[in-house]
Amino acid sequence: MTTMSRFQIHDELTAPERSVPVLRGALSGGGQLPNFLGVLAGSPAALRAYARFRSELRHGSLGLATLERISLAVAAHHGSEQGVISHSRAARAAGLGIDEIGLVRHFSSADPREAALLRYLHALLTDGRPPAHLHEEAHEAGWTDEQLLEAIATVSLESFVAMVSLAGDIPLDGSPEESRLLRAA
């Protein structure tokens, strides 16, 4: 059974005019437009804000493997199946093994430095205020204030993605035919 999104899933033909340049940029690498971006295109301001926020974080001081660890853990925390699938795939591409991916889904890591960061972020996400000892532990593990702030920003961004995905009941990305049928519905 195919899930129907509560929000319209736009493409270049149906999106508001101010969303089209961002969608074209997302499609420039080839492939299919993710359903999440198609939905977010319904609000040009939200789509542009997401694209800028994500781009800035991708050019920050955190490495890709760390960003994918955080993104995967947050997606799992929120129960976002689409996020877990896409970030598991991206984490593998960033060099994380299957065992590590399993740990990360529970805010853990075989790497002590990464584990300290994930414990800090888990406390932030679940309690809203991580205890001081977790902040100190993250510093002692070698994370700088700049990196901690970028990690917090990544939690925020990925929480936004999960919330939109869940609120919209956005279907998993699938075949081009499935996406075409969803857009036509």
- Interval 35-44: pLDDT, tens: 999 999 999 9
Average pLDDT over residues 160-170: 95
Q: What is the C-alpha to C-alpha distance for residues 115 and 130, in angstroms, rounded to an integer?
A: 15
CA proximity to 10, closest of 48, 49, 40: 40
What's the start-to-end Cα distance of the chain, in Å? 14
At 105-164, the pLDDT tens digits run 999 999 999 999 999 999 999 999 999 999 999 999 999 999 999 999 999 999 999 999
Contact between 155 and 67 (Cβ < 8 Å): no
pLDDT at 178 over 50: no
Give dist(CA 100, CA 20) in Å, integer. Answer: 38
Q: Where are the domains of the chain?
A: 17-57+170-184, 63-167
Q: Give ∠ CA 177-180-184 in degrees, rounded to 5.
A: 140
pLDDT band of residue 47 (cuts 50, 70, 90) is very high
Neighbours of 46 (CB within 10 A): 15
Confidence at residue 163, expressed as pLDDT on a 0 to 100 scale: 96
Q: Considering the domain 63-167 in this protein, what is its CATH number?
A: 1.20.1290.10
DSSP-derived letter for residue 30 is S
pLDDT at 3: 66
pLDDT at residue 177, rounded to an integer: 39
Q: Judge whether 12 and 27 are in contact, CB under 8 Å.
A: yes
Higher-scoring residue by pLDDT: 172, 119: 119
**Rounded CA separation 99/80 (Å):** 20
Condensed to tens digits (0 to 9), the pLDDT of residues 48-101 reads: 999 999 999 999 999 999 999 999 999 999 999 999 999 999 999 999 999 999
